[in-house]
Amino acid sequence: MGQWAKRDDTIVHQEDPYNAEPTPAALNHRPVTPLDTFYSRNHGPIQQLDPHTWRLDVDGLVDRPLTLSLADLRQRFAQHSVVATLQCAGNRRAELSTVRPIPGQTLWGPAAISTAEWTGAALADVLGAAGLHQRGRHVAFVEADATARPDGVALFGGSIPMAKATAGEVLLAWQMNGVPLPVVHGAPVRVVVPGYIGARSVKWLRRITVQEHCSDNYFQAGDYRLLPADADPAEAAAGHGLPLGVAALNAAILTPDQGQSLPAGPVRVSGYACAGEDREVARVDVSVDGGQRWRQADLGTAPGPWAWRLWQLVVDLAPGPVKITARAWDSSATCQPERPEHLWNPLGYMNTAWSRVNVTCTAR
């Protein structure tokens, strides 16, 4: 068992803060990702909070500010479970960095994405108990203070629009896959915002603030922004660029492996596809001739309306080098963009280009 109870074959990009993703093979084929496999994305230290003394403040534009213990949350509010996929906005950044370097950013492969069954209270219910003022437009989250937080590292936070916050699927979760939320994933309670970039699902939740404006936390106001390709990365810190939030359609091939040698003949190609907010995965196409002809993959069944689809297709590969390409379409008939060259941006976010794996097939 590796660090933070992750699999030994976990790909650790950084020890502190802890940033790690599973191997594509480990992620594949399991509609709900096991705890030892779920990716970890952090900007600061993993926080060790005492669940008995932990408190959640709900304040801002509310009639009745609340301070809730974990027992309060569990006893006062109905328990809900949602199977939801979370994906880092930097997922698949490594591929973007082959277009042009992206210094100072974690070079995620295709596995900064995972799916869990989350259980907790509906944020909508907690906000209802606090009583929302009409002026409230955004709901902001901030993590707890870390005792060992290094100087200069901002507390992590972010906000979501009120319509999303009250929609029912956003949870204050204390369970993951039926067991208490692990420390590395935000114990005792984290936010889970299905359909949004992972950065909005704030871990080690300490405070919920109802406010007129979206979060001015550094990780929303000055990071997680899509800059034009020719911008200086420092412009993000000044609030330039497109603020990320709602997730976008994405897909990746998980098997075969990039660069694998395998016998020619029938080969099973498989991976995931994940639609953005308010959309569904409608079709996944696979090509073995560089995008000239496509066949539709089997989408399997969705583990839930907020979860990915694990698709697969058996293709017949001839001997020699083969380019395998996959692309997803969503329920608005939107197709992923083709080339990472056109999606490159200085912070390397939102690589949603068609997924490509090159293999070499040997004659049987």
CA 312 to chain centre: 22
Q: Which of 109, 158, 245, 303 binds a copy of itself (CB under 8 A)?
A: 245
Of residues 258 through 277, those in contact with a copy of itself by CB under 8 A are 276-277
Rounded CA-CA distance 321/261 in Å is: 9
Q: Which is nearer to a copy of itself, 333 or 363 (CB)?
A: 333
The residue range among 48-56, 184-192, 213-221, 345-353 that interacts with a copy of itself, by the rule CB under 8 A, is 345-353
Q: Which is nearer to a copy of itself, 153 or 238 (CB)?
A: 238
Q: Total binding residues for a copy of itself by CB under 8 A?
A: 37
Query: How far, in Å, CA of 212 to CA of 267, rounded?
Result: 53
**According to the binding rule CB under 8 A, does residue 333 interact with a copy of itself?**
yes
Cβ distance to a copy of itself smaller for residue 77 or 272: 272
The footprint of a copy of itself on residues 178-237 (CB under 8 A) is 226, 228-230
- Is 176 or 313 the residue whose CB approaches a copy of itself more closely? 313
DSSP notation for 22-40: --HHHHTT-SS--TTTS-B
Shortest separation between residue 175's beta carbon and a copy of itself, angstroms: 28
Give the residue from 304, 313, 292 showing the smallest Cα distance to 32: 304
- CA 28 to centroid of chain Cα atoms: 16
Rounded distance, CA 187 to CA 174, Å? 7
Which residue of 48, 67, 260, 332 would you call a contact of a copy of itself, by CB under 8 A?
332
Spatial contact of 221 and 72, defined as CB atoms under 8 Å apart: no
Q: What is the DSSP letter of 97?
A: H
Is residue 289 close enough to count as binding a copy of itself by CB under 8 A? no
**3-state SS assignment for residue 14:** strand
CA-CA distance, 71 to 76, in Å (whole number)? 8
Residue 338 within binding range of a copy of itself, rule CB under 8 A: yes
165: tokens are 């916050």
Nearest distance, CB of residue 42 and a copy of itself, angstroms: 22
61 touches a copy of itself (CB under 8 A): no
The overall longest dimension of the chain from CA atoms, in Å, is 72
CB of 324 to a copy of itself, least distance (A): 16
Residue nearer to a copy of itself on the CB measure, 350 or 359: 350
Binding-residue pattern over the window 293 to 312 for a copy of itself, x denoting contact by CB under 8 A: xx-x----------------
Among 116, 350, 357, 359, binds a copy of itself (CB under 8 A): 350
Q: Over the range 237-260, which residues count as b (16 or more CB within 10 Å of their CB) and which as e? A: eeeebeebbbbbbbbbbbbbeeee
Task: Name the CA radius of gyration of the chain, rounded.
Answer: 21
- Comparing CB distances to a copy of itself, the nearer of 77 and 219 is 219
Pick from 81, 151, 159: which is nearest to 115 by CA?
Answer: 81
Question: Which residues are at the interface with a copy of itself (CB under 8 A)?
Answer: 226, 228-230, 242, 244-249, 276-279, 282-283, 285, 291, 293-294, 296, 329, 331-339, 342-343, 349-350, 352
